[in-house]
C-alpha cells in the first residue's frame, strides 16, 4: 500500500497509507483538522525489498488475511529429531 504525503492549509505535513484505488486527493489534517491536499512527490523506489518495506508488507498482509494455525509452532510432527545420543540429556528440563 503506498504512502501519500498531505499538506493542510496551515502547512502541516502528514503521511497516510492508502490503497492505490483510493482516488481521494484530500484528507483531514490530524493536527488542526482542516482539509489537506495530497502532494505529488517521487516514489521511494529505493525502499522496495528493504527489511523495513518487507516488514510493512508482512504486517499489512497479516492484518488483512492472518495465517491460521491449528497447533503451537514448534510442536507436532515438524519438530526436529533429537541431535544427541547421550542418555543424560533426556533428563534435562524441556521448555
Ligand atoms: Zn493542519
Strand pairing partners for 35?
Answer: 28
40 CA → ligand 1 middle, Å: 18
Return the domain boundaries, the chain: 3-60
Question: Tell me, what's the pLDDT at 31?
Answer: 93
Q: Under a CB-based contact definition with an 8 Å cutoff, are residues 8 and 36 in contact?
A: yes
For ligand 1, the distance from its centroid to the CA atom of residue 78, given in whole angstroms, is 53
Cell of 15: 503521511
pLDDT number for residue 30:
92
If you measure from the C-alpha of residue 70 to the centroid of ligand 1, how many angstroms do you get, rounded to a whole number?
A: 47
Q: In what order do the strands lie in the sheet with 3-8?
A: 13-17, 3-8, 35-38, 26-28
DSSP 45: G
Its pTM stands at 0.43
Express each pLDDT in 8-63 by its tens digit: 999 999 998 888 777 567 889 999 999 999 888 777 676 777 888 888 888 888 88
Q: How far apart are CA 11 and CA 6, in angstroms?
A: 9
The whole-number average pLDDT for the span 67-84 is 73
Amino acid at each position: 500500500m503506498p504512502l501519500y504525503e498531505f499538506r493542510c492549509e496551515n502547512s502541516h505535513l502528514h503521511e497516510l497509507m492508502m490503497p492505490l484505488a483510493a482516488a481521494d486527493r484530500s484528507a483531514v489534517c490530524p493536527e488542526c483538522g482542516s482539509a489537506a491536499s495530497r502532494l505529488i512527490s517521487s516514489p521511494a523506489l529505493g525502499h522496495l525489498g528493504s527489511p523495513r518495506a518487507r516488514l510493512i508488507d508482512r504486517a499489512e498482509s497479516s492484518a488483512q488475511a492472518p495465517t491460521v494455525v491449528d497447533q503451537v509452532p514448534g510442536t507436532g510432527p515438524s519438530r526436529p529429531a533429537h541431535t544427541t545420543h547421550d542418555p543424560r540429556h533426556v533428563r534435562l528440563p524441556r521448555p
